[in-house]
Amino acid sequence: LASAPPLSLAEKYFQLRPDELNPLWGNPCDDIRHRKIWSKSKWCETLPKVLVIGPQKTGSTALYTFLAMHPALVPNLPSPTTYEELQFFNNNNYLKGLDWYLNFFPPSQNNGTQITFEKSATYFDGDLVPRRAHALLPNAKIIAILISPSKRYLNFFPPSQNNGTQITFEKSATYFDGDLVPRRAHALLPNAKIIAILISPSKRAYSWYQHIRSHGDPVANNYTFHTIITANDSAAKPLRDLRNRCLNPGKYSHYLERWLVEYSAHQIHVMDGSLLRSEPATAMHGLQKFLKIQHVDYDKLLKYDPKKGFFCQAVSNEKTKCLGKSKGRIYPPMEERSAKFLRRYYTPHNTALSKLLVRLGRPVPQWLKDELTNG
């Protein structure tokens, strides 16, 4: 029997099993052997039960904000780098592991029988902390958590505030068209409910262009919207890449079909993003039915703000709290030639989406009917 140093053994292993090069995290609590070695301070139940998958620029932040107002729903904690979006399943955050992900979910609401606790990670190595803590809390129980420094995904979902009736959710608009996302999401969250929010793909593309321009994207700042969307395959690579990133997520049926490979249709809700914008209470009513949660009347929670031009949270009779400046930007209307080009470009994709929705027994949104009549 021959052996080899660990690194060579690992190389040999992955030569034999190249399919295992990309990890696929499952829920450790689903397997008794994993459960046994799972840290006592981690709680699989806090994993999100609802994922809002985008795509980008369809009103996903408004939807996230409205969902977070519902008493039955608990959003993730914000990420220091990507704010409300964790972007776990679609990028390198996935390689940080489950531990990193779980730490984003908030700790438990106290119902009187629970024990209060506090966590400050800087206590562990704080010079004066042990003495000061003991002076005030001599009977406290102290928990130090030591993990492998590489396992950090679960850290964003701390043992939860969840009182058992609440549902955790997460929104990352880049999930919708992320190559590996449906498979990874299903491996970890097979029972999750998935929400996609769709608006006219042409409007989405234009909004996305304005978004990356305002983030200082050099290619977007050098080319007009029309040049980008009409770039052909002989154009310079940066231009082609930008065109693809701008136009591809709008091929809605293609990406939805990929989600349908992993999740069954009854787990997927396709929200009309235009309706969410113009009649949010109606859109949220449908969503609450899908999520089977207590009905909350969003007519009472939201108010149209004429200055913003959008529905915002009603804080008091006069006051509203709206989304920030980057949501509902002001920019010139799309040129007619671009609108015409995109109508034609998206016609086959919109036709496929309409057929898909009919096949699933879902309503065809007004914006889609309009695009197909004018296409």
We find the least distance from the C-beta atom of residue 61 to ligand A3P, in angstroms, to be 3
By three-state DSSP, how is residue 353 classified? helix
Q: By rule CB under 6 A, what string of x and - marks binding of each residue 2-41 to ligand A3P?
A: ----------------------------------------
How far apart are CB 367 and ligand A3P at their closest, in Å?
Answer: 13
Which residue among 36, 40, 42, 57 is the active-site one? 57
Task: 301-309: list long-range contacts, CB under 8 Å, 24+ apart.
Answer: 301/66, 301/69, 302/66
- Residue 198, amino acid: L
- 201: nearest Cα among 252, 269, 277, 272: 252
Regarding 327 and contact with ligand A3P (CB under 6 A), the answer is yes
249 interacts with ligand A3P by CB under 6 A: no
Element (H, E) at 74: strand 73-75
Amino acid 248 reads N
Nearer to ligand A3P, 97 or 328 (CB): 328
With binding defined as CB under 6 A, does residue 52 bind ligand A3P?
no
User: Contacting ligand A3P (CB under 6 A), which of 25, 311, 346, 367?
Assistant: 311
Q: CB–CB of 23/88 below 8 Å?
A: no
Q: Does 57 bind ligand A3P (CB under 6 A)?
A: yes
Residue carrying the six token digits 């505030």: 161
Minimal distance, residue 8 CB to ligand A3P, in Å: 47
- Catalytic site includes residue 49: no
Q: Which stretch binds ligand A3P (CB under 6 A): 25-33, 60-68, 72-80, 185-193?
A: 60-68
CB nearer ligand A3P, residue 44 or residue 69: 69
What backbone torsions phi and psi does residue 31 show, to the nearest 5 degrees? -125, 120
SS3 for 6? Answer: helix
Which of 53, 62, 181, 296 lies at the binding interface for ligand A3P (CB under 6 A)? 62
- How near is the Cβ of 339 to ligand A3P at its closest, in Å? 15
**Closest separation in Å from C-beta 135 to ligand A3P:** 48
Number of residues that this document lists for the chain: 375
C-beta of residue 14 within 8 angstroms of C-beta of residue 21: yes
**Which residue is associated with the tokens 């010139």?**
332
> How is the beta sheet containing 268-272 ordered, strand by strand?
73-75, 167-171, 50-54, 193-198, 268-272
**Alpha carbon distance 52, 171 (integer Å):** 4
Interaction between residue 68 and ligand A3P (CB under 6 A): no
Near ligand A3P by CB under 6 A: residue from 240, 277, 285, 343: 277
> What is the Cα–Cα distance from 87 to 95, expressed in whole angstroms?
12
Name the strand (E) or helix (H) holding 167: strand 167-171
The site that binds ligand A3P (CB under 6 A) totals a number of residues, namely 18
> Looking at beta carbons only, is 119 or 329 nearer to ligand A3P?
329
Nearer to ligand A3P, 271 or 276 (CB): 276
From 61, 93, 172, 350, residue interacting with ligand A3P (rule: CB under 6 A): 61
Can you say whether residue 347 is alpha, beta or left, with left for phi > 0 and alpha for psi between -120 and 50 degrees? Answer: alpha
Nearest distance from C-beta of residue 280 to ligand A3P, angstroms: 7
Q: Considering only residues 173, 181, 205, 256, which one is a binding residue for ligand A3P as defined by CB under 6 A? A: 173
Q: Does 207 bind ligand A3P (CB under 6 A)?
A: yes
Nearer to ligand A3P, 72 or 323 (CB): 323
Give the ranges where the chain is alpha helix by DSSP (H).
Answer: 6-16, 32-37, 60-68, 98-102, 129-136, 181-188, 201-214, 218-222, 225-230, 237-247, 252-262, 273-278, 280-291, 298-301, 336-359, 366-374
Of 29, 235, 323, 339, which one interacts with ligand A3P (CB under 6 A)?
323
In the set 27, 90, 155, 210, which binds ligand A3P (CB under 6 A)?
210
Provide, rounded to whole angstroms, the least separation between the CB of residue 141 and ligand A3P.
Answer: 43
Q: Which residues here bind ligand A3P, judged by CB under 6 A? A: 56-62, 173, 207, 210, 276-277, 310-311, 323, 327-329
Catalytic residues: 57
